[in-house]
Structure 1
Amino acid sequence: MRTVGVEEELLLVDPDSGDPKALAAAVLARAEQDDPGQDVFEKELFGQMLEFATHPQADMAALADEIVRCRKEAARHAGQIGCAVAALATSPLPVSPSLTMNERYQWLADRYGIGTRDQLACGCHVHVSVESEEEGVAVLDRLRPWLPVLNAISANSPFWQGRDTGYDSYRTRVWGRWPSAGPTELFGSAERYHRRVADMVATGAILDEAMVYFDARLSARYPTVEIRVSDVCLCAETAALIATLTRALVDTAARDWRADRPAPDHSVSVLRLAAWQAARSGLDGDLLDPATMRPRPAPAVLRSLLDHTGDALTESGDARNVEEAVTGLLRRGNGAHEQRRMLERTGSFRDVVTECVRRTQG
């Protein structure tokens, strides 16, 4: 059974006003004081962000429990210094991001200017174990058309600087400003993958290999593929669903590779359009069907995803839970849909943040 790990970035906010607060250093100090040597929580690009990483898990129920536990621990540490955590991919309220000061982040700020300062956006990265780099690259080639569907499920960033953007996942539009971000062409082999990465670094436009911000990539630290398209999800249950579907997609892709079934040869231009469509309308409109790259209603595309990964989900014992989770998701909507419903009900971005803090803590 492949193991899965999840990294989530959370927004630190004032519990009364809802305004983002640059208190990550203080929260991390409190976490270290409570648990010396802890390796769960880390700093991020901005002081208003806190990241945690789960341990690798083969059992998806155990992974879901750990996501909930990490969120609660983050909330506890934050509460001890007078702030709160919210699983929001962008801040509904206006914010002036505070850069975390270290040599790497300062280089990014100097190199990319306002493009760096506009990157206060929280994502969810999923790591799935692979047996080799060759298998990993074969998986990356076959995952490409399905990644926008994962983004539509996770979409949780409709607001930016106190305004409705018209997007379900505005975070992905912000993230796409990095020069190395986005979908990739087919690699075909690990050797060609590494050659392309080396060519990108050699241009000098990016700092190093860690700045290759593909939608999905080989991890430089772990024997995993790292899928990076998802917003941080409002509900922990949705994060667990994303992780479970991602493992099933990896299993299915690896099986297709071993059976010599070719990877879909969609162009990067079309994949970018699929990503834009998913970010724009999430689950409320059409998505581009991963097989045909033509519009289909989002529920039908989600059904195609379940059909595509059905064998893998059955073998892992996750099929029933995923079916129920997808049914619930379509009924209530993704995080962006829920945030808009909160705003319609309360008329206040502050109240949206307050409610999202409560949801984050379960």
Structure 2
Amino acid sequence: MRTVGVEEELLLVDPESGEPRALSAAVLARAEQNDAGQDVFEKELHEQMLEFATHPQADMAELHEEIVRCRKEAAGHAGGIGCAVAALATSPLPVSPAVSMNDRYRWMAEQYGVVVHEQLVCGCHVHVSVESDEEGVAVIDRVRPWLSVLTALSANSPFWQGRDSAYGSYRSRVWQRWPSAGPTELFGSAQTYHQRVADMVATGTILDEGMIYFDVRLSQRYPTVEFRVADVCLDSGTAVLIATLARALVDTAAKEWREERAPAGHSVSLLRLAAWRAARAGLTEELLHPVTMRPAPAETVVRDLLEHVGAALEANGDLDRARETVAELLEHGNGARVQRELLERTGSLRDVVTECVRRTQGT
């Protein structure tokens, strides 16, 4: 069974005002006093963010337990210096992001200007193990049409600088401003993939391979493919669902590759439109169906994703729980819907953040 690891980026906020606080260095210093924190929590581009990474897990229940534990540990470290953590993909309240200045981030700030200084967004990245780069690239080619559905399921960033963005996942729209971000054309082989990456680095537009921000990419550090399309999820169970579906997509794609079934030939232009529609709609309106690239109800598209990867889910023992979590999301909504309902009920973005802090620490 393939292993899965999750990286979550959390927002550091003031527990009273709900405003983001640039305290990641202090939180990391506190975490490093404990040996367990040294290989779990990491600095990110902005000082208002804290990232953690789970260990590779084959059992999704164990992955869920680790995500919950890491969130609680992050909350404990943050609370020790007077702030809190929230699983929010953008700040509901206005913020002036503070860039973490090391050599790498300084180069990025000089190269990309205002993009870096506005790019305070929190994602959920999922690593799924593969046997080789060749298998990994075959997977990348075959999962492309389904990635927008993961964005829709995870959408958790409706607000931007104190206003409703009209998007479910505005984070994904902000992320697209990086020059290397977004969907990719078909590669066909690992050799072509690596040559494409080398050519992109050679332009000088990006610093190195670490700045290849494809929607799905081969990891530099691990023998995995890395899914990068999801918002950080308000509910830890949603994060586990995204990880579960990512693994099932990899299993399904690898099987198709071994059976010499060609990947869908959708153009990057259509994939961009599908990604935009998913970011805009979340689960509340129509999405572009990954097979036809025509509008279809979000519930239909999500159900068809479950059917597409159903055999892999069943083989991994994940089918029942995936169905249950999907049903809960379709009934009660993803993070974007929850945040909007909280604002409608309380009339206060500060109260939205306060409740999201509570949910982050309690899940």
Normalising by the residue count of structure 1, what TM-score does the alignment of the two structures yield?
Answer: 0.99
Secondary structure at the counterpart of residue 300 of structure 2: helix
Distance 1:210 1:163 in 2: 32
Which residue of 2 is the match for residue 247 of structure 1? 247
For 1:359, the equivalent position in structure 2 comes to 359
Alpha-carbon distance in 1 for matches of 2:318, 2:157: 28
- Name the amino acid aligned to 1:361: Q
Which residue is 1:52 aligned to? Answer: 52
Q: Which residue number in structure 2 is paired with residue 99 of structure 1?
A: 99
> Could you say what secondary structure the match of 1:117 adopts?
helix
Q: Which residue of 1 aligns with 2:205?
A: 205
Which residue does the alignment assign to 1:43?
43
Aligned to 1:108: 108
C-alpha displacement of 1:176: 0.3
The 3-state SS of whatever aligns with 1:311 is: helix
Q: What amino acid is the match of 2:26?
A: A
**Structure-1 separation of matches of 2:353 and 2:37:** 31
Shift in Å, 1:101: 1.1
Structure 1 runs, 4 residues or longer, greater than 3 Å off: none
Give deviations 1:282-301, integer Å, cap 9, x for gaps.
00001111100000000000
Asked if 1:266 corresponds to 2:266, the answer is yes
Match of 2:225 in 1: 225
Offset at residue 262 of structure 1 (A): 0.4
> Partner amino acid for 1:151?
T
Task: With the length of structure 2 as denominator, give the TM-score of the two structures.
Answer: 0.99
What RMSD over aligned residues (CA atoms) do the two structures have, in Å? 0.7
**Larger deviation: 29-38 or 268-277?**
29-38
CA–CA distance in 2 between the matches of 1:21 and 1:216? Answer: 30
Q: Secondary structure at the match of 1:20?
A: coil
- 2:63 match: 63
CA deviation after TM superposition for structure 1 residue 152, in Å = 0.2
Q: How do 1:1-362 and structure 2 match up within 5 A?
A: 1-35=1-35, 38-362=38-362
Contact 2:31 2:37 in 1 (8 A): no
1:104-150 per-position Cα deviation (integer Å, ceiling 9, x unaligned): 00100000000111110000000000000000000000010000000
C-alpha contact (below 8 Å) 2:127/2:226 kept by paired residues: yes
TM superposition shift of 1:37: 6.5
- Amino acid corresponding to residue 311 of structure 2 in structure 1: D
Write the distance in 1 (CA, Å) between the matches of 2:223 and 2:33.
Answer: 31
User: 1:196, 1:148 → 2: CA distance?
Assistant: 23
Name the CA shift for 1:36/1:335 in 2 (closer, same or farther; >3 Å).
closer
How far 1:35 moved relative to its partner?
A: 2.9
Q: Name which of structure 1's ranges 11-20 and 200-209 shifts more when overlaid on structure 2.
A: 200-209
Structure 2 unaligned spans of 5+: none
Deviation of residue 34 (structure 1)? 2.8
Q: Which amino acid aligns with 1:236?
A: S
CA positional deviation for 1:44: 0.2
Question: Alpha-carbon deviations, 1:16-69, whole Å to 9, x = none?
Answer: 000000000000000011336720000000000000000000000000110000
1:361 partner SS: helix
> 1:145 is paired with a residue of what secondary structure?
helix
- The count of aligned residue pairs is 362
Calculate percent identity across the aligned residue pairs: 74
For 1:156-175, what per-residue CA distance to the aligned partner results, in whole angstroms no more than 9, with x for missing partners? 00000000000000001100
Q: Which amino acid aligns with 1:161?
A: Q
What is the CA deviation profile of residues 76-109 of structure 1, one whole-angstrom value per residue up to 9, with x for unaligned ones?
0000000000000000000000110100001000
| CA distance in 2: counterparts of 1:216 and 1:231, whole angstroms | 14
**2:123/2:228 contact within 8 Å kept:** yes
Specify the code of the residue in structure 1 equivalent to 2:53. A
SS state at 1:180 partner: coil
The CA distance in 2 between the partners of 1:23 and 1:34, in whole Å, is 18
